[in-house]
Structure 1
Amino acid sequence: MNDKLTIAMPKGRIFEEAAELLRKAEYKLPPEFDENRKLIIDVEAENLRFILAKPMDVATYVEHGVADVGIAGKDVLLEEERNVYELLDLKISECYLAVAGLPGTKMNDVAPKVATKYPNVAAAYFRQQGEQVEIIKLNGSIELAPLIGLSDRIVDIVSTGRTLVENGLVEFERITDVTSRLIVNPVSYRIKDSRINELVKRLSEVVQLEG
């Protein structure tokens, strides 16, 4: 039986921090691993295959079983609500979801508009606050929406807050903290339980040491 473990990871900051975490867990990733431009990378020495994807797609790949496990931000898991198990908080790529907008502006009384990449998260949050809003889904440059009058507020990921400041926006409310999580396909977890449990054990030891 093929026991190669396939791991889906997002490109960018999470990829870099996750690769460092795997190395600290004594997985032998080659030096060129970080600079690779391929979308599928095989690490034969560890019997691992990596799929590099957009952050929002990682949980989808894991849910459909093309990847056994994945590393995804909690923001993606909250938004996508995929049928996957969350195994471990890796404590990397820390940030948070927040409500922001132009200083001094008030929400419109009738159907205030909120622009976001996270329509499900935003709708749930404002519903909990007892507010009815119109959600406008955007895929990029969320900060632009209040500047051009498209929305009263935005809901977006905040890391350092620099992007908000540079665009003249301020944070109004903090919704939830976000870190990257190790997730698994339920079927893979049954079939490849020993490999996956070993991965969880080794990574959790590193996370605890660094915590």
Structure 2
Amino acid sequence: MKELTIAMPKGRIFEEAVVMLKEAGYNLPPEFDDSRKLIIEVPEENLRFILAKPMDVPTYVEHGVADIGIAGKDVMLEEERHVYELLDLKISHCYLAVAGLPDTEMNEVAPRIATKYPNVASSYFREQGEQVEIIKLNGSIEIAPIIGLTDRIVDIVSTGRTLKENGLVEYKHIVDITSRLIANPVSYRLMHDRISEMTDRLEKVVNG
């Protein structure tokens, strides 16, 4: 039987997804949680895991180097990859929001928005009927309004602590985010039974 390859993001989603897989009855080795490897083989379950940056997971799945993957809805919205979304795992809850310095108006002429999510941000402001200039940043988004680079930011909010620590406030809630189980369309057809079995087992965990 061909092994099932799963792409997973490092960090919080990985940690929560591993707990779910164990609760679903998958026999993962004890050291799995602490592994620093990028590829982990679990021969007893006929599984192979690829650990990747969150934004890369849908790319790996779309191109078939991974049969399935676990990705945040924020990444799915931003990347718009051709993959099947099988299940909302309801883990890693957060949301995308517009934030900025308190009591400030957006510049009326070409307001600027900093974000890691240029496609999502562009779509949102277009839907609001606002013309903005999007500036893509890869880290420390919160600094952009503070140093005068942009009027607002669009970023992930979990607890709101990071915004508060940097003297920013939330202006608009854009969309709620959770992690999703996704599949490569060809793999889903060729390995339908195995992928469906995993989906069913995880769904039982989701539903408690």
TM over 0.5: yes
**Alignment match, 1:137:** 136
Q: Distance in 2 between matches of 1:47 and 1:144?
A: 45
Tell whether 2:52 aligns with 1:61: no
Q: Which amino acid aligns with 1:50?
A: F
**Alignment match, 1:29:** 28
What is the 5 A alignment of 1:177-196? 177-196=176-195
Q: Distance in 2 between matches of 1:136 and 1:60?
A: 23
**Alignment match, 1:172:** 171
TM-score by length of 2: 0.99
Q: Which amino acid aligns with 2:143?
A: L
Which runs of 5 or more structure 1 residues have no equivalent in the other structure? none
Report how far residue 29 of structure 1 moved: 0.4
Aligned length in residues: 208
**Alignment match, 2:116:** 117
**Alignment match, 2:155:** 156
Report how far residue 126 of structure 1 moved: 0.3
**Alignment match, 2:8:** 9
Which runs of 5 or more structure 2 residues have no equivalent in the other structure? none
Please report the RMSD computed on the Cα atoms of aligned residues, expressed in angstroms.
Answer: 0.4
Report how far residue 93 of structure 1 moved: 0.2
Q: Distance in 2 between matches of 1:3 and 1:197?
A: 15
Q: Distance in 2 between matches of 1:139 and 1:85?
A: 27
Q: State the identity as a percent.
A: 76
Q: Distance in 1 between matches of 2:2 and 2:176?
A: 35
Q: Distance in 2 between matches of 1:31 and 1:162?
A: 32
Q: Distance in 2 between matches of 1:45 and 1:176?
A: 39
Q: Distance in 1 between matches of 2:162 and 2:7?
A: 28
SS at match of 1:108: coil
TM-score by length of 1: 0.98
Report how far residue 3 of structure 1 moved: 1.8
Q: Distance in 1 between matches of 2:119 and 2:177?
A: 16
Q: Distance in 2 between matches of 1:199 and 1:30?
A: 18
Q: Distance in 2 between matches of 1:68 and 1:92?
A: 21
